[in-house]
Amino acid sequence: MPRVLLIEDDAAVRDGVTLALRRRGHEVAAAASGEEGLTVLPGFRPDIVLLDLMLPGKDGFQVCRLIRAERQLPIIMLTARGDDLDVVLGLEAGADDYIVKPARGEVLEARIRAVLRRTALPADGAPAVEPGPAPVETYGELAIDRAGLVVGKGGQDLALAPSEMKLLLFLSATPGQVFSRQQLLEHVWEHSYHGDARLVDACVMRLRTKIEDTPRSPRYVQTVRGFGYRFGPL
Amino acid sequence: MNRLGRRVPSRTLLRGLRARLVVGFLVVAAVSALTTALLTYREARNAILQRSQDIAVNDLRAQVNSLAPELTVPPAQEDLDNFRVQLERSGKSREWDISVHYRGVPDSDEGGLRRGVVVPADLKSSVEKRHVPAFQRIDRAGAPWLLIGMPVRQSDGQASALSVYAQLPLSAEEANVEALVSAAQRGALPVLILAVIPALLAARGVLRPVRGLRQAAGRIAEGKLDTRLEVKGADELADLSRTFNDMAARLEESMAELRRLEANSRRFAADVSHELRTPLAAMTAVTDVLDEDADSLDPDTASAVRLISQETGKLARMVEDLMEVSRFDAGAAALHPDEVDVGETIRKTLQARAWQKRVVAELPEDVRARLDPRRLDVVVANLVGNALHHGGEPVRVVLHAPEPGADRLLIEVSDSGPGIDPEVLPHVFERFYKADSARARSEGSGLGLAIAMENVRLHGGTMRAANSPEGGAVFTVDLPLRHDEPNETADADGPDATSAAGTRTAKENDA
C-alpha cells in the first residue's frame, strides 16, 4: 500500500486527511511543518508527498524544491483553487499535480492513484508496463528505455520527476502527433474535469530544461501554436 | 477628441480665448493709434497752416506798409499796376499773386507776373466795407490756397480806399501735412504688429492657468484624484486654482474613504471564506468516512451523519463560490485561455456531472475557440444545473456553430419548465436572488448564475435570460470567438511564465 507523507500545518485538516487516507489503506506520516516533513522524509521513505503550500517557516514552494533537489518522488500540492499564482509557482517548483481544497477523501485517493500510476512501480509490485525485452528507443541524443523507465541523453541518465517522465513517454510513443493541453491533462494526469492547462505548460517547461540543448528553441518537445504539443519530428 | 473621448467643439477663428484676447488688443491698439493720429494730424495741420498764414499776412503787411507811402493818391491805373508788380516782386520766397483795388476797382492785371487773383465777394466786402484784414483758405482744383485781403491805412491811421489782395498756394504746407499723415500711417502698422506681442503675452498669462485647470480637471475625471494645481499670486485665477484644489482634496478624501470601506468589506468576505475553508477541508476529507459507516449506525444517528456529510458538501461549494465572487470583485480573476474544441468541452462538462442522460445536447464538431476551459465548464455547469433544478427536464444545450466569417459563439441552455416570471427576469443574475420567495433556500449557493455571468464577462461576452415562446427559460451565452491570438499560445515561455517567475523572485525576497 502506498506510503503517504502529509505536510500540513492545520491540525484538523491533517487529522481529517490522515483519517481518510488510512481508511483507504495508506500508510500515512503527518508533519506539521516543512522542516518536520524534511526530517521525517528519509526515514519514512514515502511513495508520495502531499504538500500544503501555506506553511509556517519554509513554505510549500521551498519544501518542494528541497525535495526535488534530491529525489524524484511524486509530489502533490494541496492548494486552494483560484489562488492561481500558487498553482503556477508550485508547478514550477517541481510539483507533479495539485489537489484543490477542500477535497473529499475519494478525490484525494483518485489523485494519489493517478500520480502513482505515472511512476515506475505502484506499491503492489506489479510493473506498470508489460515486461519484456523492450528495445531502447533513440531520438537524436535521447535514449528512452520504456521498460526500465530510464531516459538518457548523451550517455547520461536524466533525473526526471514522475510527471515529466510520464509526459515524455506519452508524447514520444507517437512521435509527430499533436496533443492539446486538455488531452495531455486527461492522459498523463488523468484529470477527468477541466484541469489547469498550466500544469502541462509548467511540466513541459521543466522537461525542456532537462532534455533540450536550448530550451528556448526546443527540438524534442515542440509547441504547435494554438493546438498544443508534440514530440519531434526531429 | 480629447483623452476622455468627449467631443470638444472645434473652435472657429474667434471662438478661442487666445484669439479673442488678441483681437481685443488689436482693436484697442488700432483705435488708440487712429485717435492719436487723427488728433495729431488735426493739430499739426492747423498749426502749420496757421503759422504760414501768420507769416504771409505779416509779410504782406510789412511790404504794403513799406511800399504804400510811395503811392500817389489818388493813384492812376499805371501806379496801381506798378504798386502790384512791386508787391509781387517783394514776395521773396513766397509766390503770391497780388491784386490791388482802389475804391473797389482792381488793377488792370497787366504786366502781372502770375495768375489773376479771384477775390470772393464776402472777403472783399469785409476788407473794403469794414476795413479789416481778412484771410480765407480755399480749395482750387484740389489744391489749397490762402487768400489775404488787406485794407491799406493812411499814415494817420485813417482807412484809405486802397486794398491789397494776395493769393498764395499752400502746397508746401500741404505736403508737410501729407508727410505727417503718411508717417502716422507707416507708424500705425508696426504699432499694431507690436501690439500682438503684449496681446499674446497677456493671453498666455490667462490661458496657461486655464489650460492647467483644464488638464487637471481631465486628470481628475480619469480618476487621478491626487491632482493639484500650483497656486500662484492672488488674482481670480489663483482663487479658482485654490477652490479647485479644495474640491479635489474633498473628492479624494471621500473616494479614499469609500474605497477603504469597500476594500474592507471585500477583504472581510474573502477572509471569512478563506478562514471557513480550512475547517471545511478537514470536514470534507472525512465525509465519505461518515457516509460509509452510516449504514452501521442506528437510524437517527445515521440520518444525522448523512445530513452532516451532505450539508458539509454544500457549505464547501458555497464557500468556494463566495471565494470566486470575491476574486471577481477584487479584479483578481485571471483568464487562462486555450484553444479548445467547444463541443468537446461542453460534452466533458456534462459527463463529469453525469448529466448526459438528462440533457439533450446538440454539439457540432470542430467548433474551435480560444477560451478558458475551466471557466466555460463553470458557466455551462451552472446554467445546466440551474435548468435542471429550477426549470424542468428535458434540458437542451445547443452550441451554434458560428457562421463563416462571424466571430461570435452562441451557447443556448433551455429547459421545459414554466419559464421565469417576467418580474424576476431582470434579476436572475443577481447574487443570492431567490426567484421563488416561497422556497426557503435554493439547491445551489445562490451565486451560480452571478458567477456564470462574471465568467462570461471575463471572456468579453454577454449572457441573456429570456422565456422561449414554447415555454421554458432560455439562457443564451454569447462569446467572442478569438482564434489564434499571436501572443497567446500553448507555449510555456509565454507571458504567464515570465510574470510568475517575476513574482516568485519577489516572493523569495519577502521570505
Distances (CA, A) of B426 to B382, B414, B423, B432: 18, 17, 7, 14
CB A29 within 8 A of CB B299: no
Q: Which of chain A's residues have a Cβ under 8 Å away from the Cβ of B288?
A: 20, 104-106
Domain boundary, last residue among B179, B202, B223: B179
B373 and B427 part of one domain: yes
Same domain, B409 and B458: yes
Cell matching residue B45: 495741420
One domain for residues B291 and B342: no
Q: Do A20 and B289 touch (CB under 8 A)?
A: yes
A89·B489 Cβ contact <8 A? no
What is the grid cell recorded at B3? Answer: 483623452
User: What are B318's three cell numbers?
Assistant: 458555497
What is the domain-level CATH number for residue A225? 1.10.10.10
Shortest Cα distance, chain B CAs vs residue A62, angstroms: 9
Q: Clarify whether residues B105 and B43 are in a common domain.
A: yes
Tens-digit pLDDT profile for residues B461-486: 888 888 888 878 889 998 887 644 44
Is the full-model pTM beyond 0.85?
no
Domain membership flag for residue B263: yes
**Average pLDDT value for chain B:** 78
CB contact under 8 Å between B490 and A108, yes or no, is no
**From B286, B374, B497, residue closest to A205, measured CB to CB:** B497
Q: Do A143 and A110 share a structural domain? A: no
The sign of the dihedral angle between the CA atoms of B312, B317, B318, B322 is: positive
Q: Mark which of A67, A84, A119 sits at the end of a domain.
A: A119
Pairing of strands B408-414, B395-400: antiparallel
Length of chain A, in residues:
234
Q: Which residues on adjacent β-strands are paired with residue B164?
A: B100, B150
Q: Note whether B286 contacts A103, CB cutoff 8 Å.
A: no
Do A94 and A175 belong to one domain? no
Q: ∠ at Cα B72 (B70, B77), nearest 5°?
A: 115
Same domain, A182 and A112: no
Position A31 scores a pLDDT of: 92
Contact B129, B121 (CB under 8 A): no
**Non-local CB neighbours of B194 within 8 Å, separated by 6+ positions:** none
- Looking at per-residue pLDDT, the higher value among A208 and B57 belongs to A208
CA angle A21, A25, A29 (to 5 degrees): 55
Tell which phi-psi region holds residue A45, choosing left (phi > 0), alpha (psi between -120 and 50) or beta: left
Cβ of A101 and B490 within 8 Å?
A: no
A105–B286 C-beta distance less than 8 A:
yes
Rounded to whole angstroms, the Cα distance separating A119 from B212 reads 68
Q: Are residues B362 and B259 both part of a single domain?
A: no
Residue that is last in its domain, among B289, B317, B345 = B317
- Whether A21 and A97 map to the same domain: the answer is yes
Among A193, A203, A207, A230, the strongest candidate for a mutation testing the B interface, having the largest count of B CBs within 10 A, is A193
In eight-state DSSP terms, residue B50 is: H
**Residue of chain B minimizing CA distance to A109:** B285
Alpha helix ranges (H) inside B438-492: 448-458
* CB-based contact B285 A205, cutoff 8 Å: no
- The residue among B398, B345, B397 whose CA lies nearest residue B369 is B345
B368: domain CATH number is: 3.30.565.10
By Cβ distance, the residue of A195, A198, A226 closest to B496 is: A198
In a domain, B66, yes or no: yes
Residue B434 has pLDDT above 70, yes or no: no
- Cα torsion B215, B217, B219, B224: sign: positive
CB contact under 8 A, A226 and B339: yes
Nearest CB among B289, B323, B377 relative to A194 is that of: B377
Neighbours of B156 (CB within 10 A): 6
pLDDT (tens digit per residue) in B370-384: 888 888 888 999 898
Better-predicted residue by pLDDT, A182 or B286: B286
Instruction: Quote the DSSP letter at residue B361.
Output: E
In percent, how much of chain B has pLDDT > 90?
A: 2
**pLDDT band of A127, cuts 50, 70, 90:** very low
Above pLDDT 70, what percent of chain B? Answer: 85
CA distance, residue B291 to nearest chain A CA (Å): 11
CA atoms of A78 and B445, how far apart (whole Å):
24
Lowest mean pLDDT among A60-74, B181-195, B255-269: B181-195
The predicted structure's pLDDT at residue B484 = 45
Q: What range does the domain containing A77 cover?
A: 3-119
pLDDT at position B495 is 36
Min Cα separation A194/chain B (Å): 5
Domains identified in chain B, total number: 3
Would residue A84 count as lying in a domain? yes
A101 pLDDT more than 90: no
Please tell me the distance in Å from B484's CA to the nearest CA on chain A.
6
- Same domain as A210, residue A102: no
Residues 6+ apart with CB under 8 A from A101: A13, A78, A79, A80, B277, B281
Position B169 in a domain: yes
CA distance B337 to chain A (A): 9
> Which of A4, A6, A8, A13 is most worth mutating to test chain B (most B CB atoms within 10 A of its CB)?
A13
Q: Do B277 and A201 touch (CB under 8 A)?
A: no
Asked, for residue B488, whether it belongs to a domain, the answer is no
Distance CA B180, CA A129 (A): 118
Note whether A151 and A100 are same-domain residues.
Answer: no
Instruction: Indicate whether B305 and B403 sit together in one domain.
Output: no
Domain contains A90: yes
pLDDT band at residue B72 using 50, 70 and 90 as cut-offs: confident
Q: With contacts defined as CB-CB under 8 Å, which chain A residues touch B484? A: 225-226
Q: How far is CA B244 from CA B220, B230, B388, B394, in A?
A: 10, 10, 57, 63
**Residue B89 falls within a domain, yes or no?**
yes
Q: Of A17, A182, A224, which is closest to B373 when you measure between CB atoms?
A: A182
Say how far residue A77 (Cα) sits from the centre of its chain.
10
The residue assigned the cell 445536447 is B361
Say yes or no: A145 and A107 in one domain.
Answer: no
Residue A176 falls inside a structural domain: yes
Residue type, B368: R
What is residue A15's predicted lDDT score, i.e. its pLDDT? 92
Of the two residues A136 and B5, the one the predictor is more confident about is A136
Cβ neighbours for B236, distance < 8 A, ≥ 6 positions apart: none
Chain B residues whose CB is inside 8 A of the A202 CB are 492
- B148 and B279 co-located in one domain: no
The mean-pLDDT minimum among A34-38, B22-26, B403-407, B445-449 falls in B403-407
Q: Is B360 in contact with A117 (CB distance < 8 Å)?
A: no
Kindly state whether residues A90 and A145 are assigned to the same domain. no
C-alpha cell at B340: 479548445
Task: Report yes or no on B108 lying in a domain.
Answer: yes
Q: What is the CATH number of the domain that holds B52?
A: 3.30.450.20
Helices (H) and strands (E) in chain B, counts: 10, 12
Residues of B in contact with A194 (CB under 8 A): 345, 348-349, 373-374, 376-377
Q: Please check whether residue A61 lies inside any domain of the structure.
A: yes
Q: Pairing between strand A228-231 and B395-400? A: unpaired
Region A182-209: mean pLDDT is: 82
Q: Which residues of A touch B337 (CB under 8 A)?
A: none
- Residue B280 and residue A181: Cβ atoms within 8 Å? no
Across B21-133, the runs of DSSP E, i.e. the strands, are: 97-102, 105-106
Mean pLDDT value across residues A214-221: 87
CA angle B483, B488, B489 (to 5 degrees): 90
Same domain assignment for residues A112 and A26: yes
Min distance B392 CA to chain A CA atoms (Å): 26
Q: Would you give the DSSP letter of residue B425?
A: G
* B205 belongs to a structural domain: no
Which of B271, B273, B284, B293 should one mutate to test binding to chain A, selecting the residue with the greatest count of A CBs within 10 A?
B284
Convert the pLDDT of each residue in B129-176 to its tens digit: 777 888 888 887 777 788 888 888 776 767 777 888 888 888 777 788
Residue B312 lies in a domain: yes
Both B405 and B369 in one domain: the answer is: yes
What letters, b where the CB count within 10 A reaches 16 and e where it falls short, cover B460-484? ebebebebeeeebbbbbbbbebbee
Task: Let me know whether B313 and B343 are in one domain.
Answer: no
Q: How far is CA B309 from the centre of its chain?
A: 64
Task: Give the nearest chain A residue to B324 (CA atoms).
Answer: A82
Question: Taking CB atoms and an 8 Å limit, are A82 and B501 in contact across chains?
Answer: no
Residue A179 DSSP class = B
CA distances from B328 to B259, B276, B323, B447 (A): 16, 19, 9, 12
Residue A152 has pLDDT above 70, yes or no: yes
Q: Which residues from B are below 8 Å from A223, CB to CB? A: 489-492
Q: Specify the long-range contacts of residues A123-127, CB closer than 8 Å, at least 24 apart.
A: A123/A1, A123/A2, A123/A3, A123/A47, A124/A1
User: What's the confidence (pLDDT) of residue A17?
Assistant: 92
For residues B20 and A208, the model is more confident at A208
Packing angle of the helix pair B373-390, B448-458 (nearest 10 deg): 150
Q: What DSSP designation does B366 have?
A: T
Smallest Cβ–Cβ distance between A102 and the set B281, B352, B374 belongs to B281
Out of A224-228, B92-96, B108-112, B417-421, which region has the weakest mean confidence (pLDDT)?
B108-112
The one-character DSSP state at B71 is S
B493 with A205: Cβ contact below 8 A? yes
CB B56 within 8 A of CB B144: no
Residue A132 falls inside a structural domain: no
Between the alpha carbon of residue A129 and those of residues A48, A114, A118, A149, the distances in Å are 20, 15, 10, 9
* A42 part of a folded domain: yes
Among chain A residues, the shortest Cα distance to B344 is held by A182
Nearest-CA distance from B407 to chain A in Å? 17
Residue B223 pLDDT > 70: yes
Option in B484, B489, B501 nearest A223 (CB): B489
- CB–CB of B334 and A227 under 8 A? no
- The secondary element (H helix, E strand) that includes residue B288 is helix B236-294
Question: What phi and psi, each to the nearest 5 degrees, are found at residue B113?
Answer: -75, -30
For residue A164, is it within any domain? yes
Mark whether A63 and A149 lie in a shared domain: no
Say yes or no: B241 and B380 in one domain.
Answer: no
- A126 lies in a domain? no
Do A80 and A170 sit in the same domain of this protein?
no
Question: Which residue's entry shows cell 513766397?
Answer: B94
Given CA atoms A167, B499, A72, A189 in this order, what sign does their dihedral have?
negative
Whether residue A174 sits in one domain with residue A146: yes
Domain coverage including residue B287: 236-317
Q: The domain spanning residue A81 has which CATH number?
A: 3.40.50.2300
Number of neighbouring beta carbons within 10 Å of residue B397: 24
List pLDDT tens digits, range A20-71.
999 888 999 999 999 999 999 999 889 999 998 888 888 888 999 899 888 8
d(CA A223, nearest CA chain B) in Å: 6
**Domain endpoint, select from B159, B179, B199:** B179
Mutate: best of B273, B278, B280, B325, partner A, most A CBs <10 A: B278
Secondary structure (3-state) at B314: helix
- How far apart are the CA of B259 and the nearest CA of chain A, in angstroms? 23
**Same-domain check for residues B115 and B263:** no
Compute and round to an integer the Cα radius of gyration of chain B: 54
Same domain, B279 and B341: no
CB contact under 8 A, B324 and A229: no
Our count of domains for chain A comes to: 2
